[in-house]
Amino acid sequence: MNERELTLFSIIVGIVLAVIFAGANAYLGLKAGMTISASIPAAVISMAIMQIIFKRNSIKENNIVQTIASAGEALAAGVIFTIPAFLILNYDVDYFYIFITSCIGGILGVLAFIPFRKKFIEEDHKLLPYPEGRACAEVLTSPSRGLEFIYIILGFFIGFSIRILTNIFSVLKSSFSIIIDKFSMFSLDLSPSLIGAGYILGIRISSYIFTGGILGWFVLIPLISFLINKYNFEEIWHNYIRYIGAGGVLVGGIISFIKNLRAFESFLNFQTSKNDIPFHFVIFGITSLIIISYFIYHFNLIGIVLAFVFGIIFTAISGRIVGIVGSSSNPISGMTIATLLIVSIIIKKLGFVGYEGIFISLTIGAIVCIAAAMSGDTSQDLKTGYLVGAKPINQQISLIIGVLVSSTIIGYVLIILNKAYIIGSKELPAPQATLMSIILKSSFEGNLPWLLLLIGGVISIIFETIGINSLAVSVGLYLPLGLSSSIFLGGLISKILNRNYGVIYSSGIIAGDSLGGIVSAIFIIFSLKFFVFQFNEIFSFLIVLLMFISLLFRKIW
């Protein structure tokens, strides 16, 4: 008897989790400039719901649930890295535009990876480990995950409570900072989701991000202020450091691109098996997306072709890179910046300048970014499926379902968060989208600071030469210091209080904090804020820290 796999039950549970993780990661991405893989927490929640409540024990059915759910997280990453740039640039984009762009980019990312699946997932099985995919397979095949489910729920409650106490009741401060002098400042964002993200990333990657922050705020800002003696530290960060960080991300992305040129071998050897969506359906699907894009966006045909050419290229690169470094280190920011720089030059040559040129270029960048993010997630999910014996075609259909469902809610989430907090503000800095808007606007205005980009590129090369992840350092450069220091705090906690259940617990905290932020946004829109009393910055920090680590000292028996 065949084991249940793509069932109505698995689709419904997957859709519910996709909506939750899409919303949570949209908030986290706008806040911290990064998202966290949803596959493992989705698998744990799915197994708990199916085994404990509904007495269903199919591994393959659970795999479909986590596949649909993780599509929501991946789509959110691609969307929040680019589309908020329209809002930052004061462009009027409505819900339909966000929905259709999300659908086109997301489905492209799924379909364009299908010809590479057999090569990357099966033939290069030993060469490309796909860490999240393997870890998720281990979760799915473990005997019981009841305890992990408890940690996710408790983490969710803690994260949600802290966010509500901070945003609605103003009991806790959201950050604290120490101004050292006119040209330097230390700050720490009191966000449980940032600390949780740092815990999941671990001490190594979080320390690289913090290194970028220290380099920017305690080396480059004082140096620039000494040379120029014109701006304060915030103005120097805004006018100089973010461009240096952008140059670092761009070069870091190019380095990753060069390291993974082997991905193009599969362009010459397209392979799909009888277990994949048939290749002629893939071609039909991509062609349909091109036609839909042409009539929806009303671009020059060359612009549409550019979006899909870059989308397919970076789909291949992204799908291979995450096989080595994991989805959390997928350099989609670097890929998108490279796309924007190249496309903006071509679009200007075609005669599109100003408002129209920026709009076309940013739309192309959004499609490429979403496709690359979806490709990275697709490859991890298909590796999980390969390890548990699932049919690829069922997962590919599930991923498309996840894209369509998540696309319907991601626009509402962005609109609500923008009304409540204003995207690009201190509350929701949207680091990547802000970076994209700066790069694109400067490119079209002809005042792109190439020297600063070059300095960032040189810094990236230096770190790569000594064996340090240049992308992580560059991200730390353009993140506000409060964010990178909070991420590092989480990494430090993971080093001191390393627990088997720590990652699952942190995932729950991130989900709770993020959804608490969305709920708070609805309250703020309707002016429903309540002031009871407020702890000062130090006490707020201690309370958040103690609540976070409370369950890391001992196991729940």
Query: Mean pLDDT per segment of 10 residues, for the chain of length 557 residues?
Result: 82 94 91 79 82 81 93 94 95 94 98 90 83 83 72 91 92 86 81 90 91 94 86 84 89 78 58 80 96 90 92 88 72 86 92 92 96 94 94 97 97 95 91 91 90 95 92 86 92 88 87 89 84 88 92 62
N residues, the chain: 557
Tokens 């005997």 identify what position? 143
Contacts of 53 (CB under 8 A, 6+ apart): none
Structure tokens given for 134: 């393997």
Tokens 């992204």 identify what position? 318
Q: With respect to residue 205, please indicate whether it lies within any of the assigned structural domains.
A: yes
Structure tokens given for 130: 């796909």
- Give the separation between CA 149 and CA 17, rounded to whole angstroms: 14
Contact status, residue 205 vs residue 495, Cβ threshold 8 Å: no
Q: With respect to residue 2, please indicate whether it lies within any of the assigned structural domains.
A: no
Q: With respect to residue 3, please indicate whether it lies within any of the assigned structural domains.
A: no
Q: If residue 286 lies in a helix (H) or strand (E), which one and from where to where?
A: helix 279-297
Structure tokens given for 95: 């819900």
Structure tokens given for 521: 């946004």
pLDDT in tens, 288-327: 999 999 999 988 888 999 999 999 988 988 888 888 766 7
- Give the separation between CA 345 and CA 16, rounded to whole angstroms: 42
Q: With respect to residue 557, please indicate whether it lies within any of the assigned structural domains.
A: no
Q: If residue 189 lies in a helix (H) or strand (E), which one and from where to where?
A: strand 184-189
- Give the separation between CA 429 and CA 187, rounded to whole angstroms: 15
| β-strands 184-189, 175-181 pairing | antiparallel
Contact status, residue 26 vs residue 412, Cβ threshold 8 Å: no
Q: With respect to residue 42, please indicate whether it lies within any of the assigned structural domains.
A: yes
Residues spanned by the domain of 449: 8-549
Query: How much is the pLDDT for 270?
Result: 57
Contacts of 400 (CB under 8 A, 6+ apart): 107, 110
Q: With respect to residue 555, please indicate whether it lies within any of the assigned structural domains.
A: no
Q: In the chain, what are the helix, strand and coil shares in percent, each to the nearest 5?
A: 75, 5, 20
Query: How much is the pLDDT for 328?
Result: 66
Question: How many separate domains does the chain show?
Answer: 1
Structure tokens given for 261: 């040129």
Q: With respect to residue 260, please indicate whether it lies within any of the assigned structural domains.
A: yes
Which letter, b or e, does each residue of 357-371 get, where b requires 16 or more Cβ atoms within 10 Å of its Cβ?
A: bbbbbbbbbbbbbbb
Q: With respect to residue 251, please indicate whether it lies within any of the assigned structural domains.
A: yes
How far does the chain reach from its first CA to its final CA, in angstroms? 38
